[in-house]
């Protein structure tokens, strides 16, 4: 575990940053800062969803930040995002996370060390804003991928790979949408005043914008999947239509050939001099009649 306590001469509160703690180490932290042990255990659950709890004199919240480096085909919440838990009151702020989070170092250097943020609530507001901002760039990338696949589906040949790619986009958009919807509770739980009200309102506006974008992406991908399946079914129907027409052509011809392929001794046409050409002409006539009939039905 890495426990770092940040104090500055310009700040009236302490910032304790804890990276990848064990349960025993969290218990020690809970005793030192009088935090509920069961609440701290939530920090160890890797797939915990965003939430907020009022612990009396301390506020507790969990957020999930999207990982910058993640597998191309990642489609689970745990592989796409990391949890950042925050305990805070007017005297201290405690951040707990499993992976290193550069945004916390950036917030510390930009707002805490310089004294620009005077209260823990202001620091928490900055953390929430940076967490939400991590969803911004992936949203643009997913939107561009949706546009590309839309062009491929309508203007290029359909391939089975498209369904797999659309699935991953749909899955990612769905996970991000769910996390952002749950983060709304976290954002709305923050109570601040003074100049930081504007920063909090920016975070609320960003959360609403991102929810709208990811919801639109999810809806667009769902529509593209339906269109893809419809076009695939239409292509299959066209193939079956061609095969059926061929079957219609050859069915009566095969019937005629089958009759004259029987090996009975007393067949009237066996000794006919013109039997063979007559049968051939009959087959051509039947084929022409079928062709005219199919054209009139507009099946061709």
Distance CA 221, CA 215 (A): 10
Query: What per-residue confidence (pLDDT) applies to 177?
Result: 95
Q: In which element (H, E) is residue 64 found?
A: strand 59-66
Local confidence band at 161 (pLDDT 50, 70, 90 cut-offs): confident
Is 9's pLDDT higher than 70?
no
Domain locations in the chain as residue ranges: 2-233, 239-296
- Please state which CATH number belongs to domain 239-296: 1.20.58.340
Fold of the domain built from segment(s) 2-233: Beta Polymerase; domain 2 (3.30.460)
232 sits in the region (left: phi over 0; alpha: psi -120 to 50; else beta) called alpha
Task: Count CB-CB contacts under 10 A for residue 269.
Answer: 12
Residue 43: DSSP 8-state: G
Local confidence band at 55 (pLDDT 50, 70, 90 cut-offs): confident
Cα-to-chain-centroid distance, residue 281: 63
Is 170's pLDDT higher than 70?
yes
Question: What pLDDT digit, counting tens, does each position of 71-114 carry?
Answer: 777 788 888 999 999 999 988 899 998 888 899 999 998 988 88
Count of CA atoms in the C-beta half-sphere (13 A) of 43: 31
Locus of tokens 């050409």: 277
For the chain, the average pLDDT equals 86
User: Is 84 or 24 the better-scoring residue by pLDDT?
Assistant: 84
Where would I find the H helices in 156-274? 160-189, 196-260
Whether the domain at 2-233 and the domain at 239-296 fall into the same CATH topology: no
Is 231's pLDDT higher than 90?
no
Burial track 174-190 (b if 16+ CB lie within 10 A, e otherwise):
bbbbbbbebbeebbebb
Query: What per-residue confidence (pLDDT) applies to 1?
Result: 57
Compute the chain's Rg from CA coordinates.
35
Distance CA 44, CA 163 (A): 36
Question: What pLDDT digit, counting tens, does each position of 273-294 carry?
Answer: 777 888 888 888 888 888 888 8
Q: Which of 159, 162, 138, 160 is nearest to 148 (CA)?
A: 162
Q: In which element (H, E) is residue 14 found?
A: strand 14-19
Question: What pLDDT digit, counting tens, does each position of 198-210 carry?
Answer: 888 999 999 999 9
Query: What per-residue confidence (pLDDT) applies to 140?
Result: 93
């Amino acid at each position: 575990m890495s426990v770092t306590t940040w104090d500055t001469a310009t700040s009236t509160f302490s910032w304790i940053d804890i990276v990848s703690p064990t349960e025993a180490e969290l218990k020690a932290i809970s005793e030192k800062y009088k935090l509920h042990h069961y609440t701290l255990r939530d920090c160890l659950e890797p797939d915990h969803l965003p939430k907020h709890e009022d612990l009396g004199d301390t506020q507790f919240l969990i957020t999930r930040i999207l990982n910058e480096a993640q597998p191309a085909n990642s489609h689970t919440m745990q592989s796409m995002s990391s949890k950042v838990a925050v305990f805070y009151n007017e005297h201290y702020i405690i951040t707990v996370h499993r992976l290193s989070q550069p945004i916390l170092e950036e917030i510390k250097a930009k707002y805490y060390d310089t004294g620009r943020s005077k209260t823990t609530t202001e620091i928490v507001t900055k953390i929430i804003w940076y967490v939400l901002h991590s969803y911004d760039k992936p949203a643009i990338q997913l939107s561009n991928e949706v546009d590309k696949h839309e062009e491929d589906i309508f203007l290029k040949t359909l391939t089975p790979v498209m369904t797999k790619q659309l699935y991953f986009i749909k899955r990612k958009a769905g996970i991000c949408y769910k996390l952002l919807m749950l983060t709304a509770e976290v954002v709305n739980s923050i109570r601040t005043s003074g100049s930081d009200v504007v920063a909090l309102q920016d975070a609320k506006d960003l959360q609403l914008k991102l929810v709208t974008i990811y919801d639109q992406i999810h809806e667009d991908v769902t529509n593209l999947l339906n269109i893809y399946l419809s076009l695939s079914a239409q292509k299959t129907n066209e193939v079956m239509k061609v095969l059926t027409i061929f079957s219609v052509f050859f069915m009566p011809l095969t019937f005629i050939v089958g009759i004259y392929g029987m090996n009975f001794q007393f067949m009237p046409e066996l000794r006919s001099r013109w039997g063979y050409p007559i049968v051939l002409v009959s087959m051509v006539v039947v084929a022409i009649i079928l062709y005219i009939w199919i054209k009139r039905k507009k099946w061709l």
